Amino acid sequence: MSNSQIIEATKTFVKNTLKNAEGGHDWFHIERVYNNTLLISKNENVDSFIVSLAALLHDIADSKFHNGDETIGPKKAREFLFKQNVASEVIEHVVNIIAHMSFNKSLEGVLAFTSKELEVVQDADRLDAIGAIGIARCFNYGGFKNRALYNPDIKPNLNMSKAEYKASTAPTINHFYEKLLLLKDKMNTKTGKRLAKERHKFMLLYLEQFYSEWQGEK
């Protein structure tokens, strides 16, 4: 198969696999990350085939929905790509991106793997975690986990370890301070940084309005 045929087969595989996924980690999330990846790639010297496959497969088995197991996603991606007869070096690169791009990996303090391709897909994924869509996804996941919207008595934990982050049951608003508002300064690419600034501003405006309504001021 040609690269374009493999990408189309990957899209079909992901759509079928994630057809009943939680709304913030479904096919539409994947599609947005894929489109963000293509946009960012225009200004970066990266392998378009590798970033496309990594974007499409990055949440094929998100650990949040598999009891925290971070090995299932890379394994599923590897098995699928092997069946498509993708070159072994491409498979290894894609699998490494999937295994190392999540936010909680940054809490480990050590970069075990990096590449320009990872930086592009990571930025594309992080863009979908901020701004208007990021807010919608955040509250959707909070509802999925039956978490409180906000509790003034539970303060954000700004120095979480990876284990604490993965085990957190804090109110959804706390997630803004524990992750979403931190992403602007963690972007890797020029395009990612530019797009993140606007989305970051929108989240700050949202929080200002949220607290005003919560306290009956507006």
Residues 129 and 141 sit within 8 Å (Cβ to Cβ): no
pLDDT at 68 over 80: no
Whole-number pLDDT of residue 61? 73
Domain residue limits, the chain:
3-214
Work out the burial of residue 114: count CB atoms within 10 Å of its CB; fewer than 13 is exposed, 13-18 middle, 19 or more buried.
Answer: middle
H or E stretch at 3? helix 3-17
What are the tens digits of pLDDT across the range 107-165? 666 677 899 999 999 999 999 999 999 999 999 999 999 999 999 999 999 888 877 87
Cβ density class 140-162: b for 16+ within 10 Å, e for less: bbbeeeebeeeeeeeebeeebee
Percentage of the chain modeled with pLDDT above 70: 93
Supply the pTM of this predicted model: 0.91
Whole-number pLDDT of residue 24? 82
Class of domain 3-214: mainly alpha
pLDDT at 191 over 90: yes
